[in-house]
A and B are shown apart, each in its own frame.
Chain A
Amino acid sequence: MKAEGRAKQSALETRLSGPRWIYHRNWVQLAALVVMNSYFFSWAKGFCVPALNCWACPGAIFGCPIGALQHHSIDARWLLGGKPWYAIAPLYVLGVLLVFMALFGRMMCGWICPFGWVQDKLGALRRKHWRIPRPLGYLRYAVLISLVFIVPYYTGATWFCQLCPQGALEGGWLQPIFAPETRAGIGLWWWIKQAILIGFLVLAVFVRRPFCTTSCPLGAIFSLFHRYSLWRIDYDAQKCVNCMWCVQNCPAGIDPRKELNGHACIGCLECAKCPYDAIQSRPMWQPMPAEAPLQEGQLEESAPQTH
């Protein structure tokens, strides 16, 4: 049965379509990880990169937008009443995020987020994954509103950072290695953070992108506009033969036939490799290409029998 499934998968992989550049996602993710943490140009930390990359990493060259939003929330408490709203509101950080999400939706999650890449690699260790109940996806919005805005405002502490597994990986590990004086600070909280990190990493083997799906506040911001962004992904039900290739290969663990451009889609474009061209990515101004009619008998010959 397993061998049959693999044979069907291989048969479909010989037919993969889509533009060539979407096949280089792994290298783009790796390049983004290296560039974001390439140590030099610390002046660039004023720019908030549209990905979750801890600015406490010794090599980080950009700012973390979620870290900046929390600091804005904390500052707002002390500055309210003393300055005009536009001086206190995080207009610059939100403006950067708005531009990226208007142009690319949630593609940053699928293409440049370093923690997303780590989870993709762990997810690739298994072929079958458990599905996360969809309502858990809304937890990200609760994390965004509470841990990024409300709790920092009232407590004066960056609580999302204190729990962030990406910070535990990049800052929590690399600072003690490259800055030995910080090792003395390793205590209970460091272990709590590592436990959260290990929990998500282990879960990433069994569930597709568990952190992105349930807890990432930046993904929550981007997914608000994913459906209306310039870069779109379209599904053509007429061409779809229900071969399930897209469902089996989606790094976000969604069913692209039903949830394309939805709040759980990470815009990775893996589904745009569809063997039957039923899913395609294109900019908003480009019309969906006309349907190429299938040859007679093509469905029966090439589509595997699934479910």
Chain B
Amino acid sequence: MIKRHAWIIATLAGLAGIVVGLGQGHWGIVLAWARTLCTSCIGLSD
């Protein structure tokens, strides 16, 4: 029973996480990280 419906619980938990995270401004935070070129991450600086 739990196995069969685990995906529903996980989806709801994921959606709750998204809502809370967005409420904390995480979209903007991730966007800022993504737009900043991290040259050391791709080996273009030491």
Contacts and interface: CB of A to CB of B under 8 A. Distances in A.
A46 B27 contact: yes
A56 B38 contact: yes
A249 interface: no
Contact of A162 (B31, B35, B41): B41
B44 A172 contact: yes
Interface string B1-35: 00110111011011111111110101111110111
A175 B18 contact: no
A9 B7 CA distance: 37
Contact of B24 (A55, A86, A157, A168): A86
Contacts, number: 159
B18 A46 contact: no
Contacts of A100: 14
Contacts of A171: 41-42, 44
Contacts of B7: 102-103, 225, 228-230, 284
Interface residues of B, number: 37
Interface string A152-194: 0000011001101001100110011000001001111111111
Contacts of A91: 17-18, 20-21, 24, 26
Contact of A46 (B11, B16, B31, B44): B31
A201 to B, nearest CB: 16
A94 B17 contact: yes
Contacts of A172: 42-44
Contact of B42 (A71, A167, A225, A230): A167
Given A162-B40, A175-B44, A228 B34 contact: no
A42 B18 contact: no
14 contacts: A46-B27, A46-B34, A56-B41, A62-B34, A63-B33, A71-B33, A96-B18, A99-B14, A162-B41, A168-B43, A182-B39, A189-B40, A190-B42, A228-B3
Interface of B: 3-4, 6-8, 10-11, 13-22, 24, 26-31, 33-35, 37-46
Nearest 7 CB-CB pairings of A with B: A92-B21, A95-B17, A98-B14, A171-B42, A185-B44, A102-B10, A45-B34
